[in-house]
Amino acid sequence: MEIKLIRDTYTDNSTIGKLFINGVFFCDTLEDKVRAIKIPKITAIPAGRYELAMTWSDHFQQVMPLLLNVLNYVGVRIHWGNYSTESDGCVLLGRRSAGMKDFIGQSRTTYATFISKLKTAAKGEKIFIEIVNAHDHILA
């Protein structure tokens, strides 16, 4: 399975993007702000291609997708949440709400559908996520 996250909106507090599964739009994403220098728990992970593993999360008490080999980060997962303050470097799934900045809604429902797709794929294939910045963005 190939997942692609295209970051397309940058604010002072967050990064919003679009997530595609095997080339088909699936949902919106919310991450911490993209920064040139990492500040723990408030910086999005670097753009790149990462393998996903379905592993147990002690924090969430369930099996969840974990991004492997993210330079200078540990425990980066894809999960639910509405605000970048709930991210700590992770990717949150949901739907953009018109007029709402730094927020995504319908996160738990979106995540439930996503995890179902991942669990099915994980039985027979590797899963990768590619994270790209939609345009050259000057990092602050």
CA distance linking residue 115 with residue 58, whole number of Å: 17
Q: Residue 136's pLDDT is what? A: 54
**What's the mean per-residue pLDDT of the chain?**
93
CA distance linking residue 34 with residue 53, whole number of Å: 24
Q: CA–CA distance from 102 to each of 32, 67, 128 (Å)?
A: 9, 23, 26
Q: Residue 97's pLDDT is what? A: 82
Q: Residue 140's pLDDT is what? A: 42
The residue-averaged pLDDT of 41-54 equals 95
CA distance linking residue 104 with residue 16, whole number of Å: 9
